Amino acid sequence: MSSRSLSPLALRAAGRTAVAALVGVIAILPMFPSPGTTYAMGLVLQIMLFVYLAQAWNIAGGFAGLFSLGHSAFFGLGAYSYAIGVSKYGLDPFVCFLIGSLLAAGLGVVTAIISTRLSGMFFAMVTLGLNEILLNLASQLTWLTNGDAGTYLRKQFTITAGTAYYLFLALTIAVFVLAAMVRHSKLGTMCVAVKENEAFARALGVDPAPWKIAAVVISAVATSIGGGFFAMYQGIVSPSMVFTFSISIKMLIVTMIGGMGTLWGPLVGSFLVLLDELIRASLGATFGGVSLIAYGAILIFSALFLPKGIMEAVRKHLPDRSARNG
């Protein structure tokens, strides 16, 4: 194999071709109706949802290094803004998405300000605490949310599985475009600089606060929009469905395994969602904890052998092969 075949330009072109082929396969899947196709569509829809959410998390967690454990707070705000807005107050869906985005942006600013005072696991625990506050509020404010019974949406405010499938495909493509724009902008450059060495960045006159705030707000709004469309698809929103730690941890793990701070990391790490769904489908409730064991094993393996994720390992490995084969 020649070194040219492994050149960065050739690899990027091959990667784009592979992604385009994947999108094409996903797009035509519903055109072949069968029981197997219906199951596959449901599986792909779940994967697209978490790829979308992981990429939204990646904008703050991967690019800016703001390790959040409570991103489901933004997801839940978007879901409840849509559900309550359309079901209780008869608001236009667009207005509900706007309200959810504004609420998420406001909470994102608070979260980013906290990040200037705390770092590492201290910041992560604070974000988890914020999510727990919203979880309890959603359970207690029964006059607004209907508590643990959940807020149900009337049929005219929901979408079918087929519509949701293509909608989440479009959303996933859009969030990748957004992440690429952020990563290759001044915002992305500054966020990475602050993440790598905040003290050095400060010494050069860079104020980390506005860049962190911008990254978190963009991430929060994108996550909130995903929550709104999730509510539209599910037709019901309850505290345990949206303000749940499992959603936050899936965003984090999918990104971490694929490669935090890389554009394609969330897509590569999405095999974890596939693994989780396949284990649940094959073993059912009898061995419900097996998927958690699998997650733990993969995390341990990643921490030991792929500390920066699959994408970073591939990126480091290919130049070595290129040099040997050149």
* DSSP track, 234-249: HSEE-HHHHS-HHHHH
User: Within 13 Å of residue 78, how many CA atoms lie on the same side as its CB?
Assistant: 27
User: Please, which residues have CB within 8 angstroms of residue 7's CB and are 6 or more apart in sequence?
Assistant: 322
Which pLDDT value is given to residue 288? Answer: 57
State how far the Cα of 282 lies from the Cα of 288, in Å rounded to an integer.
10
306 vs 319, residue with greater confidence: 306
Confidence of residue 7 (pLDDT cuts 50, 70, 90): low
What value does the mean pLDDT take over residues 104-118? 88
How distant, in Å, are the alpha carbons of 7, 179, 194, 210, 309 from that of 184? 21, 9, 15, 17, 20
Cα radius of gyration rounded to whole Å, the chain: 20
- Note every long-range contact of 195-203, with CB atoms under 8 Å and residues 24 or more positions apart, other chains counting: 195/63, 195/64, 195/65, 195/261
How large a percentage of the chain has pLDDT more than 90?
52
What value does the mean pLDDT take over residues 55-70? 93
Q: Is residue 86's pLDDT more than 50?
A: yes
What value does the mean pLDDT take over residues 193-219? 90
Q: Is residue 312's pLDDT more than 90?
A: no
Q: Is residue 291's pLDDT more than 50?
A: yes
For the ranges 131-135, 251-255, 264-268, the maximum mean pLDDT occurs at 131-135
Q: How is the chain split into domains, by residue range? A: 4-244
Q: Is residue 36's pLDDT more than 90?
A: no
For the ranges 109-123, 175-189, 272-286, the maximum mean pLDDT occurs at 175-189
Residue-wise pLDDT for 118-156, tens only, equals: 777 788 888 999 999 999 999 999 999 999 999 999 988
Which pLDDT value is given to residue 292? Answer: 67
Beta-bridge mates of residue 152? 236
Q: Is residue 324's pLDDT more than 50?
A: no
Q: Is residue 221's pLDDT more than 80?
A: yes
285 vs 97, residue with greater confidence: 97
Which pLDDT value is given to residue 274? Answer: 78
175 vs 275, residue with greater confidence: 175
Residue 312 corresponds to which tokens in the numbers above? 């970073």
What value does the mean pLDDT take over residues 88-104? 96
321 vs 85, residue with greater confidence: 85
Average predicted confidence (pLDDT) for the chain: 86
